[in-house]
Structure 1
Amino acid sequence: MTRTVLFDEVGGPEVLRVVDVPVADPGPGEVLVRVEAIGLNRAEALFRSGGYYYPATLPNSRLGSEAAGVVEAVGPGVTDHRPGDTVSVLAVSGSMSDRGVYAERIVVSANDLLHRPAEVDAVTGAAVWLSYLTAYGALVEVGRMAPGDHVLITAASSAAGVAAIQMANHVGAVPIAVTRTDAKRDRLLAAGAAHVLTTAEGDLPERVRELTDGQGARLVFDPVAGPGLAELATTVARGGMLIVYGWLDTRPAPLPLNWPLHIVGYGLNLLLEDEGQRRRGEAFINAGLRAGTLAPIVDRTFDLVDIVEAHRYLEANNQLGKIVVTVQH
């Protein structure tokens, strides 16, 4: 048996429960992983509450996409991994109801694993891949971020926002962080933001133009969308790119009119489904981890038995960077 987080109805964090379930044997192309740490993501709170783009399969829905641990067994046909390997898990294909990683042990596709170097601890291994590969794929593969580019990053205190700040610095670009109030300004500057702007101050486009000699940002990296997208688009430099990688505001987004403008809706699956992009992304991020220029900020850790409190903290939106749940065996 293995402790696993399940929920039987959509709702607040209190619907989550930790129960013992049987451990399955890995089938063809699958791997059994002993989980040591789990990375939390806002999509999981949306999924649990019924606000995600696809619904949970109830009852006994699982949850979660990102973890780190050690391979315990492999199924037939698995040759890239063997028992004892340290790995990260990025299970973003299929439904979380079936493939969720909030558990002591999980069976996942071998394709969901990334090799975790010995020097990368489990907490870091559970905090890095979803947010950093998202930022890499959007900004480097799609946006062609280059030295000197001004990069505007909204929801900058999120894990993906912090990843984008570090990634911009890693290539010599200029990260401009956007947050709601002054509460996180100092922490964002410490995380590497060249400038911090708050939406509470108003007139974001004008302040971006002041920072960019009137040109605007060549890249804008946004997970919010909604009605504010039209104003946000006016911060983009002529011929620049607005990359939307989430929909935290699910209201309709009007079509921006400051053409010429490239608008891209980005999802991590675009990278994971392309072998070349995935290989380049892993190499880029591993190089940054070795150099210390890419380093996930873990705001707080919780134990698996405290998953309800962990989700309450996630929804309070006071963190900078990642929330990680550790698993004691």
Structure 2
Amino acid sequence: MKAAVYDNPGPPTVLRYTDVPDPVCGPQDVLIAVEAISIEGGDLINRRSTPQRSSWIVGYAAAGIIVAVGENVRDRRVGQRVTAFDMQGSHAELWSVPVSRTWLIPNDVGMAQAAALPISFGTARHCVITKGRLNEGETVLIQAAAGGVGLAAIQLARQAGATVVAVVGGRERQARLTALGAAHVIDRFEQDVVGEARRLTDGRGVDLVIDPVGSTLQASLSALAVEGRLVFVGNAGGDGLDVDLWSPMQNNQTLHGVFMGPLFERPAVHRTVDELLNATAERRLDVVIDQVFPLREAARAHEYAETAKPLGRVVMTP
């Protein structure tokens, strides 16, 4: 099969499109003929890390058609459309993943949407609802609101009855975020995020912050109200996660760290992805795709995902 692989960590140019052996479908796995691959933030970080072996295939998320099932698999069959998550291997024509990390795709959901949904919307829901405990009438600040998790969080928070304050770089994205449910959009290039968050809440601060950036954690804490909650997930900014915890202690604020990798197989979390897929099929959620590249141009797709500040997910097709 064809795949995008790398031998040494580095920039997007380390990726090469080449022939590799087909994956083996284990007894608890399904083998997927990949039709859409979602480039996740973790893929970009992992590509800059030392691979476990040569010709390593990066990639967390993809969707396609099941072409084989393991001998112990009972609830999947050949021909079904599925989307999947795993810690590596999605940047390829074929992908073998544990059946417990797959979800059936409703008929009215496209492959690109399905590939991008589990990580972005599954993560956003866990942050906003499960850990963030967002209530109707509260105000939530969403950092990096134009990213996949941010766009999902806007929609889920608005549907929960909250006032959404979205942080983004550049005015040209404001209309799209507003259409998805943001009541206010802060341009971090031109405005002081903390000052605006305080102004919009009459000095009180926001009830909840969702922060997938990491390097913005100190500002996120400063924007919080007394007894507010901060949920931080990932480290898209690439810097250290150092913050001064004296103020959060004094203000009785709560910090929740979220790392979704080990959570998707938990039954409750797994079911939420099914619910989100159904909501997408019913047009109650919008999975935003910024750009689609062929897999043979994986290096260019990664470069775009890293530097172009896409609105939503970047997808590749084999």
The TM-score normalised by the length of structure 1 is 0.90
Gaps of 5+ in 2: none
Report the number of matched residues: 314
Confirm or deny: 8 A CA contact 2:23 2:94 kept in the other structure: no
1:1-329 alignment runs, 5 A limit: 2-50=1-49, 55-92=50-87, 96=88, 100-226=89-215, 228-247=216-235, 248-256=237-245, 257-258=247-248, 259-269=251-261, 271-279=263-271, 281-327=272-318
Deviation at 1:240, TM superposition (A): 1.3
Deviation at 1:324, TM superposition (A): 0.7
Q: Distance in 2 between matches of 1:46 and 1:282?
A: 24
Deviating runs (4+, > 4 A) in structure 1?
none
Query: Secondary structure of the equivalent of 2:66?
Result: strand
Confirm or deny: 8 A CA contact 2:101 2:265 kept in the other structure: no
Q: Distance in 2 between matches of 1:268 and 1:252?
A: 17
Q: Distance in 1 between matches of 2:76 and 2:4?
A: 26
Confirm or deny: 8 A CA contact 1:5 1:103 kept in the other structure: yes
Deviation at 1:270, TM superposition (A): 5.5
Alpha-carbon displacement from aligned partner over 1:2-37 (angstroms, at most 9, x marks no partner): 111110111111111111122244121111110000
RMSD of the alignment, in Å?
A: 1.7
Alpha-carbon displacement from aligned partner over 1:181-211 (angstroms, at most 9, x marks no partner): 3242233223332110122234322211221
Which residue type is aligned with residue 240 of structure 2?
R
**Bigger mean CA deviation after superposition, 153-162 or 246-255:** 246-255
Q: Distance in 2 between matches of 1:135 and 1:169?
A: 12
Q: Distance in 2 between matches of 1:233 and 1:243?
A: 10
Confirm or deny: 8 A CA contact 2:121 2:273 kept in the other structure: no
Confirm or deny: 8 A CA contact 1:74 1:81 kept in the other structure: yes
**Bigger mean CA deviation after superposition, 197-206 or 145-154:** 197-206
Confirm or deny: 8 A CA contact 1:7 1:16 kept in the other structure: yes
Gaps of 5+ in 1: none
Change (3 A) 1:317 1:242: farther
Q: Distance in 2 between matches of 1:318 and 1:269?
A: 24
Confirm or deny: 8 A CA contact 1:170 1:288 kept in the other structure: no
Confirm or deny: 8 A CA contact 1:302 1:324 kept in the other structure: yes
Query: Secondary structure of the equivalent of 2:305?
Result: helix
The TM-score normalised by the length of structure 2 is 0.93
